[in-house]
Structure 1
């Protein structure tokens, strides 16, 4: 008897040969004769049912230059912008309101997020060679900063809602505001860590890539991505829409000359969030559905989803370098403090600082002037 290991023919071919082989028997009851391998005819076999691997070479080439380029730009802008916010807040001791505390924590979260981007840029270019421990650590830092940033954006909108739409009732609890902001900020970081535990457990180095997913059809991927969509997009979106729509309604009822400017700032905040987050989460939602259905056999369709995910993800990550502009630098007092800091380190002239101070006095009638994140440009 000939074993499979004795054949020089590949195993699938041998199996096909055995399946299609039918022994012939003589009429006089003689023993059957097994035909040789060379006597078999494979010309009529149908190979269309055999799975063909989906080629992703063009997608890999695209990711090898697109993601590192955009991640580097986002990282650089995110580091500069958020460091300026942190240094300015700490230098001028601006932790006087709830929004100040949330703003400082938001900048810390975005800074951590920006610091993790170079590792993901390298992960998209070459094999992951930094080991499993660092793979898990970087992924946890990324997810914790991601969740905490989204939660903080929600809490900032809630604080603005009570400061403007519920100004009378919030003034009564003003003495407890700082304690509440610190406790809630600590709670946000704790929740972010808790929601990152699944990534901490399942992140591994698969096919020389740092990833929490074993394959594109992994059902664990459905759970992780579904949780991210609900907690880090849908929930903050609902909170922000309710709070800012209520604020706009309150502002329309006032006759303050800064009303239109305040509404424009709110629209800018909401627009940045929607433009950066909606496309990515729509693609993420659709890929989650495809994964839950066991993947797709259409190679072109699968590659299109990969391209869409890469592009929209880079747009979504822009939030870490845009947040300082829409939440901090747009504030009159914060902008003045930043210019003063730049003057102290020699990056700004005295004349420019005086012009900024004159513009600040002209805008002194802005609403909520005791907050660094004022709704007045």
Structure 2
């Protein structure tokens, strides 16, 4: 959900029936609100649940087996952490935006800031993964020196610090407040009419110059650092990777090419439409449009943004579960759990020995596939 002001179109007109001025109410955006009533509680909830399970499994798998802590593993764990924090914050943001924001100022800044940090860190880490694949495959001779745990931890630290610094405007300018157009009391023929206060968590500025600069700088930085930079790095690295793999006369290599193409295709499909919409919205931000046009634009943006959210569910599948070693380690966890369950339910020595035999056979088969 973006911080666009929903009520940004209003005017004052002369009217003899209501004194000197007739206050024309803001655009209601009824179609977009109806769409959000479906996407918010249902689609976004499904995305959050799938993203939580998928990324949680990635973190658990790497945490249980220290031997998987390669440079690639470190990057995958950090991507999973970023996506996990995102899917935890998403339902809270959606819940508060569907009604009056009820969680106060601290939650407003924390949730919006966390959303921004996870956006930048997740995208930059995907660029790091593509660079790691480039070094491992294209620059294989130098990969042992460059792909160390020490370097991976330094890179991840730089990524998270950069994401926090890039999110400072979000932490600073987002506020919990009641917009002036939703004040409880309107004077109509000298009568007071009370309304339930409606609070929002949106960007708020002290002057127009700051508002103009920030509303242009924030989405521009998000597009440049959060999309175009990772996209260019991925295109360069994976193009070199594909060329190198195609030179190898090996079935597994060609299978790896399909995985690389899937990674790039999913990234573009999920994020390119949203960033094009964000670019258009930034250019047209200060232009007035009829309510019907603005409502249609918001609906398109809501749908495209939901598609972008899907990427946090697909990351575990694309980057982790497609890897042979990760699948083997994940299978090992399942086998361990099955063994413990079987052992706990064993009521005799025969049953216990059967459990151990099954576990040892499965473990041997798994080890052969690594």
The answer to whether structure 1 residue 344 and structure 2 residue 317 are counterparts is: no
| Partner Cα distance (2:29, 2:37) in 1 | 12
Q: 1:325 aligns with which of 314, 317, 326?
A: 317
Q: 1:182 aligns with which of 153, 171, 194?
A: 153
| TM-score, with length taken from structure 1 | 0.77
Once the 2 structures are TM-superposed, how far is the Cα of residue 53 of structure 1 from its aligned partner? 3.4
Greater radius of gyration (CA): 1
Q: What is the aligned partner in structure 1 of residue 304 from structure 2?
A: 312
Q: 1:66 aligns with which of 39, 52, 69?
A: 39
Question: Quick one: structure 1 residues 213 and 314, their matched pair in 2 at CA, closer, same or farther if it must change by over 3 Å?
Answer: farther
Question: Quick one: structure 1 residues 343 and 356, their matched pair in 2 at CA, closer, same or farther if it must change by over 3 Å?
Answer: closer
| Partner Cα distance (2:320, 2:241) in 1 | 19
* Bigger mean CA offset, 93-102 vs 350-359: 350-359
Q: Secondary structure at the match of 1:204?
A: strand
User: Structure 2: where are the runs of 5+ without partners?
Assistant: 1-11, 180-198, 343-354
* Bigger mean CA offset, 153-162 vs 281-290: 281-290
Once the 2 structures are TM-superposed, how far is the Cα of residue 359 of structure 1 from its aligned partner? 7.7
Question: Quick one: structure 1 residues 352 and 254, their matched pair in 2 at CA, closer, same or farther if it must change by over 3 Å?
Answer: farther
| Partner Cα distance (2:364, 2:162) in 1 | 41
Q: What is the aligned partner in structure 1 of residue 121 from structure 2?
A: 148
Per-residue CA deviation, residues 269-310 of structure 1 (Å, 9 max, x unaligned), is 11111111111111111111110xx13322221111100111
Backbone CA RMSD of aligned residues: 2.9
The answer to whether structure 1 residue 129 and structure 2 residue 106 are counterparts is: no
Once the 2 structures are TM-superposed, how far is the Cα of residue 13 of structure 1 from its aligned partner? 4.3
The answer to whether structure 1 residue 242 and structure 2 residue 236 are counterparts is: yes
| Partner Cα distance (2:233, 2:13) in 1 | 59
Aligned length: 319
The answer to whether structure 1 residue 115 and structure 2 residue 88 are counterparts is: yes
Once the 2 structures are TM-superposed, how far is the Cα of residue 14 of structure 1 from its aligned partner? 6.5
1:1-377 to structure 2, matched below 5 A, reads 12-13=14-15, 53-171=26-144, 173=145, 177-206=148-177, 207=179, 208-212=199-203, 219=212, 220-291=214-285, 294-346=286-338, 358=365, 361=368
User: Structure 1: where are the runs of 5+ without partners?
Assistant: 1-9, 19-46, 365-377
| Partner Cα distance (2:304, 2:204) in 1 | 20
Q: Do the aligned partners of 1:333 and 1:360 also contact (CA within 8 Å) in 2? A: no
Per-residue CA deviation, residues 338-376 of structure 1 (Å, 9 max, x unaligned), is 1221222239998799679758746x6xxxxxxxxxxxx
Once the 2 structures are TM-superposed, how far is the Cα of residue 226 of structure 1 from its aligned partner? 1.0
